[in-house]
Chains A and B, each alone.
Chain A
């Protein structure tokens, strides 16, 4: 390697963005070239100077302002059940009122069944996706970590009195990661978590799957299925073929 080839790579090297073989070649050149070492030293000097600048930390009053926002009554995933349940109920009541108003304006045949199935479906889909994304963003997607279905199943039974179907698909490259409990459509819901390569697959034991259709949102497929006679939803961003395989391994009814 000569200087002409080395110079453009110095910054990527400094930034840790150079691949292994290029690093070896560049370091070989650096060992013999004082001029390029000097250039690298100058870049490092700039880095040191910039990192020595006083850091700007978010001030306490900004944190307080955001905390105030976070306490607004909202339709969302409750963080702690008792207080937020009240908010959710309030939100449900107000949206019910809004739906009623709309139906009245439309002078349509409201049969007393409440909001239409599509509205509930959208709400459910949003809850499923929000729960999935939140779990991905958290440090761990599971509350109980276990590769053993005989640990996960009783854990749910002890927590919410349900015993969801949990299968061992380790050999099929869908290892069981564990389980968690989340709120979906106002209900505490068992979520069985499987992995596939680097992806996470959530299986929600949530209602409404029987007559629902698969949908997709922001690259995540929401797939309804019936597992051991129970309504369930699979949420993941794995590719369609893997998803199909996973469904059949799980024993999904249509």
Chain B
């Protein structure tokens, strides 16, 4: 997308708006894209887009404005990729399953502890994208309902219902006996 004369890069302003929230942007992209390289590429693309469309920032919450751009870049990449690649969720589930399967013969108590973080990771990665992203934004990025609504362009009621469903799915998956879900 070449720069247009009517919308030149305003890198100074966009740095002020985005760089304080670069970790949040990368974290969101990482959870949406799955790999560090894809996450970095998406954030880079988002930064250029933010610079080009910085005039769309109308004041207010800069993090929400910036994260919505990052998310749109991630979704655009995922949508373009979908026809020829394996589903991202399948890939993630496979790699996560491999991670869980690494400690089969530990004593039961220790096994439970060692597996818990890996299982949480696995199930979060397996959640459908619309549930995964609300959970990441709320629980890891500590975003408010309002902020999440702004990032996803959905009403707060939708944020709440997705969040409730995401938590329900996660708790159900984590409470199931290990191995039963595969």
Contact pick for A53, options B16, B22, B117, CB 8 Å? B117
**Contact in complex: B160, A58 (CB < 8 Å):** no
Which A residues lie within 8 Å of B79 (CB)?
A: none
- What is the bound-complex CA distance between A15 and B54, given in angstroms? 31
**Contact in complex: B16, A47 (CB < 8 Å):** no
B44 at interface (Cβ–Cβ under 8 A)? yes
A5 at interface (Cβ–Cβ under 8 A)? no
- Smallest CB gap from A122: residue in B: B6
Contact pick for A72, options B9, B44, B56, B117, CB 8 Å? B9
Binary contact track A36-66/B, C-beta < 8 Å → 1, others 0: 0000001100110111110111110111011
**Contact in complex: A58, B43 (CB < 8 Å):** yes
A: contact size bracket: 35 or more
Contact pick for A56, options B8, B16, B39, B44, CB 8 Å? B39
Which chain B residues (41-95) contact chain A, with CB distance < 8 Å?
43-44, 47-48, 51, 54-59, 62
**Contact in complex: A69, B120 (CB < 8 Å):** no
Which chain A residues (107-165) contact chain B, with CB distance < 8 Å?
126, 129-130, 133-134, 136-138
Q: Is the interface of A mostly helix, strand, loop or mixed?
A: helix
Among B11, B54, B140, B160, chain A packs the most CB atoms within 10 A around the CB of: B11
**Contact in complex: A62, B120 (CB < 8 Å):** no
Instruction: Give the shortest distance, in Å, between B30 (CB) and chain A (any CB).
Output: 4
Which B residues lie within 8 Å of A220 (CB)?
A: 58-59
B114 at interface (Cβ–Cβ under 8 A)? no
Known: A66-B22, A74-B10, A137-B16. A219 touches B59 (CB 8 A): yes
Which B residues lie within 8 Å of A1 (CB)?
A: none
Instruction: Give the shortest distance, in Å, between B134 (CB) and chain A (any CB).
Output: 11
Which A residues lie within 8 Å of B158 (CB)?
A: none
